[in-house]
Structure 1
Amino acid sequence: MCIRDSPYTRGLVHSTPDIFVYKDLWGIPGDVPAGNEFKGCPFSPRCTQKIDICSKASPVLMPVGGGREIACHRGGIAGLLEAKNLNFSYRLPDGEYLQAVDNVSLEVREGEVLAIVGQTGSGKSTLAHILANVIRPESGEVLFMDGNVSGGNYGNRFNGIQIVFQDPFSSTSNRFTVLDAVKEPLYINKIGSNGDRLQMVKNALELVRLPNTDNFLQKYCGELSGGQRQRVALARAMVMEPKLLIADEITSALDVSTSANVLRLLKGLQNRRGFAMIYISHDLSLTLKIADRIAVMDSGKIVETGNSHDVMLSPSDEYTKRLVGSRIGLCCHTH
């Protein structure tokens, strides 16, 4: 099943239980406009990658290869981020160097979920930090919305790139109130007035299903549970309304029940808000439920990539086969 061509087709696939039986169902947000009320593309009001022309003119069918045609002003699902030939190494105490990211290239498209999976030490978190411009690669480049990430400062603007880190206890200060923690990126980047920032914080907390009362806003992060604290970290990212959210093993420090709740919240947000997501994990079962595509990392390299169903159920790389085979309940077909 090819879902890379049309945003509408992708939405239908995510709404259909018979195609990917391992996934949760996520319908297409919004309502279909009445036929006499809209002049442009009928999917435009619900499309996450619409541009101005989409609401003004109906697209015509154009060939996209493989005998298929698509009616979309952007030619189908558009590219959002592209990484080219990334390299990064760490210097070890003995003076040797560890190649954490080794000539990695990948692409993320508008509104999709790309999972990067691998065992501990495979380089996936280092790659996530490069893509988020937390660290800079030794060579290679990251292009976001046709601009260079390191030069565009996309983490410090609306509709840019935001990252939620693995450990909520180190990514949010005990000395910060909830209001301070969520408001900080708005304050640093001089976005909005004080009143605007307060309302944006309240909206972000509501998105992640946390109270936005004055009492909760004045709580210190050190008073919160692990699940609440990770939701605060997520609200801090969502307050910037990112086009791309990078979630770096955000449930690994939480118990099983809390982890499931946070993950379902995250996927629900992604579906409703339409942002793309890079989901970093070593848990193959979870990635199969939420990811459109999977990239498998081993020793700093991407050894396999493809749609989640194919990679998990019919892997081609030997490392991927071993990784899948180690998970109870996942059936690996080697033919």
Structure 2
Amino acid sequence: MKNDKAETIFDIRGIRVSFDTPDGVVEAVRGIDMQVSAGETVAVVGESGSGKSQVMMAAMGLLASNGRATGSVTYRGQELIGLPRRKLNRIRGAKITMIFQEPMTSLDPLYTIERQISEPLRVHGGMSAGEARKRALELLKLVHIPDPERRLKSYPHELSGGQRQRVMIAMALANDPDLLIADEPTTALDVTIQAEILGLLAELQQKLGMAILFITHDLTIVEAFADRVYVMRQGLVVEEGATEDIFQRPAEDYTKMLLAAEPEGHKPPVPDGAPILLDAMKLSVTFGQKGGFFSSGFELKAVQEVSLTLRKGQTIGIVGESGSGKSTLGRAILQLLPSEGRVVYQGTPIHGFDRAAMRPYRRNLQMVFQDPYGSLSPRMTVGEIITEGLLVHEPWMSQKEREKAAVRSLEEVGLDPATRNRFPHEFSGGQRQRIAIARAVILKPTVIVLDEPTSALDRSVQKQIITLLRDIQERHGLSFIFISHDLAVVKALADYTIVMKTGQVVEEGPTDAVFDSPGSAYTRELMEAAFNLKTVLERQATARA
């Protein structure tokens, strides 16, 4: 926690960041000031595009090649802007370190965890290979990685999301930094894993006495974790102050909007007599491989005899931690994965159908994925992406008719049809998710499986997507299977909820009943981490003391 007399160790003055683009110069940051004191936790919040990450990238000398930074950033009095790379490298990675949002893009898939942690130790700490290995093992124990000796030899893809983030923290702490910059380090993690990572950072901060600069759009985390807050919008700081003041007495309309942008609303349950569209009975999915002469086989039961019944107009929310099997279940229902059990769609058993047999059913059984940037072809225009399904399912349509359908679909999801000739990278994350929804809706399906469609979005954009999904569902009588680790979103959107853990259903029922009176200890743990994070962190701190 901040000491009012603590020394300012990181001082940003009048920083500006701009990028040269084919359309001219884009100003991402337009002259801002920030300070961080020793041992303090400071949060920088704002919507995507507010410039919060670019400030730190500029300070660390990590801007893209078309980026430029002006102004002043000092660490303990030493200017960092314009500092030669050789001198800058003595500070970053040693005195100032950074954790990025997605560890899979930051960790090298070809190197073991030991090699990746050891590298900064050898470069900045001058350690030998043996010393670096010993320190790497200490760090994995420090961040509570299970079976750390074995994990040293693991590769990133062999670890869970929470474990990979712990490895990133271990790498950042390798040389006992003075300042840790954490850029959206918990966005893609489940609520219980979020609480564990935040508790770990608080524990390490107390033990090492380091300052933390936390960049996030999750205000629940900020309220529970930060001493002070800077609120950014369109490259400017619009408000700053103590966390309690910002949350209890926000001065700016934009800050008030961010604080009010929590998912809200309530979906009434469908009538008991509503037609059944889809029945999944005792679905099981097992991953594994046979052992060879030099290796033993393994078997993972990802989904174990899960059943659900989806009615017309209903939204079933499926929640649980990473590895609970919720996404695997969604893919198995749509016959995108081999599975055991039965799936019946409108009276027709479709379980075991191959790709050709499923083709007539694909237009009615659609899926929207978590990362639209990964599921939208970068080589196709938005118009081509949205109408691609029509070429398969309605090949008799003329190009003009497909164009009209694309225009209607884009208008329905709140996008300007004039943008249909642009490419996915020219849109924001929220806009790309709308494009993915438009691609599904244009085929007039009856069932849409939505796999974490809002987890990487700002709360204000989440709220817009939830409203959009409600409107589309009501307009077309759609049924949704909504897979998410964000319980606040599920509570606002689903009328029936299934809670999964390690491939099994631990609890299910009407959403109000599950949220208001959870029957299992696991569900109660999820609820507390989602809605009472501050209490969870306080309990962790008491346990550490």
TM-score (norm 1): 0.72
Correspondence for 2:113: none
Counterpart of 1:131 in structure 2: which amino acid?
A: I
Alpha-carbon distance, 1:134 to partner: 1.7
Alpha-carbon distance, 1:217 to partner: 1.4
* Structure that is richer in helix per residue: 2
- Kindly indicate whether residue 522 of structure 2 is the aligned counterpart of residue 319 of structure 1: yes
Alpha-carbon distance, 1:223 to partner: 1.5
CA offsets 1:254-299 (integer angstroms, 9 cap, x no match) = 2222222112211221122210111101111211111110001010
C-alpha separation between the residues in 1 aligned to 2:361 and 2:305?
27
Matches within 5 A, 1:41-52: none
Do the aligned partners of residues 115 and 26 (structure 1) sit closer, same or farther apart at CA in structure 2, a change above 3 Å counting? closer
After superposing the two structures, state which structure 1 stretch, 192-201 or 306-315, moved more.
192-201
Over alpha carbons, which structure has the higher Rg? Answer: 2
CA offsets 1:13-51 (integer angstroms, 9 cap, x no match) = xxxxxxxxx962679xxxxxxxxxxxxxxxxxxxx9xxx
Correspondence for 1:257: 460
C-alpha separation between the residues in 2 aligned to 1:282 and 1:95?
31
The counterpart of 2:405, out of the listed 197, 200, 207, is: 200
Counterpart of 1:134 in structure 2: which amino acid?
A: L
CA RMSD for the aligned pairs? 2.4
Counterpart of 1:144 in structure 2: which amino acid?
A: Y
Q: Is the CA contact (8 Å cut-off) linking 1:125 and 1:248 kept in structure 2?
A: yes
Alpha-carbon distance, 1:204 to partner: 0.9
Matched position secondary structure for 2:530: coil
Alpha-carbon distance, 1:235 to partner: 0.3
Matches within 5 A, 1:9-20: none
C-alpha separation between the residues in 1 aligned to 2:334 and 2:508?
20
C-alpha separation between the residues in 2 aligned to 1:309 and 1:199?
41
Structure 1 residue runs of 5 or longer lacking an equivalent are: 1-21, 28-47, 49-69, 331-335
- Kindly indicate whether residue 347 of structure 2 is the aligned counterpart of residue 142 of structure 1: no
Alpha-carbon distance, 1:201 to partner: 1.3
Correspondence for 1:14: none
Do the aligned partners of residues 228 and 273 (structure 1) sit closer, same or farther apart at CA in structure 2, a change above 3 Å counting? same
Matched position secondary structure for 1:153: helix
C-alpha separation between the residues in 1 aligned to 2:360 and 2:349?
12
Correspondence for 2:287: 90
- Count residues with an aligned counterpart: 260
Structure 2 residue runs of 5 or longer lacking an equivalent are: 1-262, 290-294, 534-545
Q: Is the CA contact (8 Å cut-off) linking 1:115 and 1:281 kept in structure 2?
A: yes
The counterpart of 2:275, out of the listed 71, 78, 82, is: 78
Matched position secondary structure for 1:327: helix
Identity of aligned residues (%): 36
Alpha-carbon distance, 1:136 to partner: 2.5
Alpha-carbon distance, 1:95 to partner: 3.1
The counterpart of 1:271, out of the listed 474, 478, 492, is: 474
Matched position secondary structure for 1:264: helix
Correspondence for 1:183: 387
Q: Is the CA contact (8 Å cut-off) linking 1:116 and 1:296 kept in structure 2?
A: yes
Q: Is the CA contact (8 Å cut-off) linking 1:156 and 1:185 kept in structure 2?
A: no
Do the aligned partners of residues 155 and 319 (structure 1) sit closer, same or farther apart at CA in structure 2, a change above 3 Å counting? farther
C-alpha separation between the residues in 2 aligned to 1:25 and 1:116?
16
- Kindly indicate whether residue 295 of structure 2 is the aligned counterpart of residue 126 of structure 1: no
Matched position secondary structure for 1:99: strand
Counterpart of 2:482 in structure 1: which amino acid?
A: Y
Matched position secondary structure for 2:336: coil
